[in-house]
């Protein structure tokens, strides 16, 4: 059964953040809150972790995994941000947006889209999530905690423990996360395209 870590949402205890980061570094899988709902997360090079996420969510090979980043500088190390898109992406971070962009060589091939060589990336507006990414020193490979057959993602730690407590190593309880998945904007084409309308204003792209 997963360990439940209760972390203060505004002043995360460094000891508990370090403990969660150590689980990730040791090949573990965690469920943690973000500004848009719970997410499943593992270390970038954790092949088994990707397989566990894929199994829990019943994902196919075309799924875009997300790099949960600490800041814009870190995001820029793992995805290619064109000059024409820089201002728009910068203005939406941190926030409940996921950006689909071409991946750099820093991204493990197994988490890229098999044909587009793209990946999702985001910077959450959530203190605990940001502290955890900072403690890792690299992005956390993540996926929205939306279980097969469910219309809505999980948003309560108790529900996460009940539903997948035997499938993950740590569940973090830290305040109330968002209840709507991120809006997803695809920047891999000629013009930005809204791939999913979620928690975040995407009206600016209606004019594209």
pLDDT tens for residues 33-87? 999 889 999 999 999 999 999 999 999 877 889 999 999 999 999 999 988 899 9
Per-residue pLDDT band for 113 (boundaries 50, 70, 90) equals confident
Per-residue pLDDT band for 196 (boundaries 50, 70, 90) equals very high
pLDDT at 132 over 60: yes
In the beta sheet, which residues pair with residue 68?
122, 140
Contact 140, 68 (CB under 8 A): yes
- Three-class SS state of 136: helix
pLDDT at 206 over 80: no
pLDDT at 207: 58
Q: Which two tokens stand for residue 131?
A: 């502290």
- CATH T-level topology, domain 13-150+168-197: DHBP synthase (3.90.870)
- What does each C-alpha distance from 177 to 77, 153, 162 come to in angstroms? 27, 11, 17
Per-residue pLDDT band for 179 (boundaries 50, 70, 90) equals confident
Q: Which helix (DSSP H) or strand (DSSP E) does residue 47 occupy?
A: helix 47-57
Higher pLDDT, 41 or 206: 41
Q: Domain ranges for the chain, please list them.
A: 13-150+168-197
Higher pLDDT, 84 or 122: 122
């Amino acid at each position: 059964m997963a360990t439940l870590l209760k972390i203060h949402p505004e002043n995360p205890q460094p000891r508990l953040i370090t403990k969660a980061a150590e689980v990730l570094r040791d090949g573990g899988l965690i469920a943690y809150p973000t500004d848009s709902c719970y997410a499943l997360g593992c270390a970038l090079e954790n092949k088994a972790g990707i397989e566990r996420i894929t199994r829990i969510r019943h994902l196919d090979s075309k799924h875009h995994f997300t790099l949960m980043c600490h800041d814009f500088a870190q995001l820029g190390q793992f995805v290619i941000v064109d000059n024409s898109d820089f201002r728009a992406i910068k203005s939406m971070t941190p926030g409940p947006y996921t950006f689909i962009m071409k991946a750099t060589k820093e991204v493990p091939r197994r988490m890229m889209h098999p044909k587009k060589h793209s990946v999702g990336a985001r910077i959450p507006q959530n203190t605990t999530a940001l502290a955890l990414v900072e403690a890792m020193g690299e992005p956390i490979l993540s996926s929205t905690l939306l279980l097969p057959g469910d219309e809505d993602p999980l948003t309560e730690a108790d529900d996460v423990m009940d539903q997948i407590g035997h499938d993950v190593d740590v569940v973090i309880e830290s305040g109330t996360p968002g209840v709507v998945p991120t809006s997803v904007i695809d920047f891999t084409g000629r013009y930005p395209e809204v791939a999913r309308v979620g928690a975040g204003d995407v009206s600016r792209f209606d004019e594209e």
